Amino acid sequence: MTQAGVYIHIPFCSSRCSYCDFATGIYQSELAERYVCALIEEIRSSAKAGARVDTVYFGGGTPSLLEPAQLASILDAVHEGFAVDASPELTLEINPGSATLGRLREFRRLGINRASFGAQTFDDRELAKLGRSHTAADARRTFHDLRAAGFANVSFDLIAGLPGQTLARWQQNIDEALELRPEHLSFYLLEVHSGTPLAQHIERGLQPKPDEDLAAVMYESMLERAAAAGYEHYEISNLCLPGFQSRHNTKYWTGEAYFGFGCSAHSYDGARRRWSNQREVMEYVRLVEHGSNPLVEEHDLTTQELRSEALFLGLRLMRGVSLDLCKQYETDLERFSEAGLLEVQGDLIRLTRHGALLSNEVFAAFV
């Protein structure tokens, strides 16, 4: 029997990155304390009593900006509201340089056993252009501090296709990441979201537009170098050493239940119902403090939507999905197979490496 995951959104950062389109804001201690209290109240009032949970993921934002005591209180509320597995995966997102060795040790003592942090690039010039508050030296130091604090499961985020980024500099990023040898690597091609500072810089000619063709070469380079170093490409944007897939994120792609708490958090009951919370931080806090439900949207998926989601989310995993899911899409599947984007192996259909790069084009046919 599958178990659910719990996602907890912490919307605070020490600075705002130029490319960020997430529900985040600048850290303020007083607001953070009110937010944590609201979060705990939401968990206590809406947790699914008795639901079995084996992953808890603190995302953001920069959850490591919270005090260990605040995280401990949130975890206590989760344990009160859910039947938490004896060996859960507990992930904390960390911004490089945002936590001392002592604080990381406190996080580890709370039971947090997986750390995910956005290195993004090991080039200080590129970090500055992105508006990141850390340096490459901070990323290296944070990684070594995590090891010293007892973290044996660490994930890096890297971004390819940055404005002005060369293939040589990207390959240096890969090589440095692989030399550190985290258990998990997430890598993304830069997306320029309308309304972000980065989009405005590009529109005004202050930064060059990302080169999509070069980004494709970077993607291939990442896969080749990581495979040679022993990493498995298990999802479009994720690689891991054997046995270190993200248990929590895999739930999103396989249709398992997950319960989200905090502003902008999304949930799915694993059967048909999806719902999401108020996105704006202060409005979320106000609603909970006044005893109101912060939920702003809910939707019961139709049978067709369930089938469509199972297909395009499942195809994110490189192992593929059952051919039985694809019967009504035979024409599209044949077209994508002829184009070299999909391949059949036994009773499974999956993206090719080239198909993974162009996955949005494939998925658009199933939405």
Residue 291 inside a domain? The answer is no
Question: Tell me, what's the pLDDT at 315?
Answer: 94
- Are the C-beta atoms of 267 and 258 separated by less than 8 Å? yes
Q: Assess whether pLDDT exceeds 80 at residue 198.
A: no
Residue 213 inside a domain? The answer is yes
Q: Assess whether pLDDT exceeds 50 at residue 115.
A: yes
Residues 89 and 150 in one domain: yes
Residues 232 and 314 in one domain: no
Among 186, 219, 253, the domain boundary falls at 253
Structure tokens at 105: 């040790």
Residues 140 and 211 in one domain: yes
The mean pLDDT of the chain is 88
Question: Tell me, what's the pLDDT at 278?
Answer: 96
pLDDT in tens, 131-146: 777 788 999 999 999 9
27 pLDDT band, cuts 50/70/90, is: low
Residues 239 and 313 in one domain: no
Residues 194 and 321 in one domain: no
pLDDT in tens, 288-331: 999 999 999 999 999 999 999 999 899 999 999 999 888 888 88
Q: Say which range, 178-182, 205-209, 230-234, has the weakest mean pLDDT.
A: 205-209
Among 224, 253, 282, the domain boundary falls at 253
Residues 248 and 317 in one domain: no
Question: Tell me, what's the pLDDT at 121?
Answer: 87
How does DSSP classify residue 343?
E
Question: Tell me, what's the pLDDT at 191?
Answer: 60
23 pLDDT band, cuts 50/70/90, is: very low
Q: Give me the helix-helix angle, 136-148 and 101-109, nearest 10°.
A: 40
Percent of the chain residues topping a pLDDT of 70: 90
Residue 17 inside a domain? The answer is yes
Residue 284 inside a domain? The answer is no
Residues 105 and 222 in one domain: yes
- Are the C-beta atoms of 232 and 242 separated by less than 8 Å? yes
Among 253, 283, 315, the domain boundary falls at 253
Q: Assess whether pLDDT exceeds 90 at residue 208.
A: no
Residue 262 inside a domain? The answer is no
Domain range enclosing 316: 305-363
Q: Assess whether pLDDT exceeds 70 at residue 20.
A: no
Coil vs helix vs strand at 260: strand
For the chain, the domain total comes to: 2
What's the CATH number where 114 sits?
3.20.20.70
Residues 234 and 313 in one domain: no
Question: Tell me, what's the pLDDT at 124?
Answer: 85
Q: Say which range, 153-162, 204-213, 223-232, has the weakest mean pLDDT.
A: 204-213
Structure tokens at 243: 């046995």
Question: Tell me, what's the pLDDT at 224?
Answer: 94
Q: Say which range, 1-5, 12-16, 191-195, 334-338, has the weakest mean pLDDT.
A: 191-195
212: closest CA among 194, 197, 191? 191
For the purposes of burial, counting CB atoms within 10 Å of the CB of 204, is it exposed (0-12), middle (13-18) or buried (19 or more)?
exposed
Neighbours of 233 (CB within 10 A): 17
Q: Say which range, 18-22, 268-272, 309-313, has the weakest mean pLDDT.
A: 18-22
Residue 80 inside a domain? The answer is yes
Residues 314 and 199 in one domain: no
pTM, to two decimals: 0.90
- Are the C-beta atoms of 263 and 23 separated by less than 8 Å? yes
pLDDT in tens, 61-91: 889 999 999 999 999 999 999 999 999 999 9
- Are the C-beta atoms of 257 and 270 separated by less than 8 Å? yes
Residue 265 inside a domain? The answer is no
pLDDT in tens, 248-259: 999 999 999 999
Identify the bridge partners of residue 6 per DSSP, sorted by sequence position.
56, 259
Residue 273 inside a domain? The answer is no
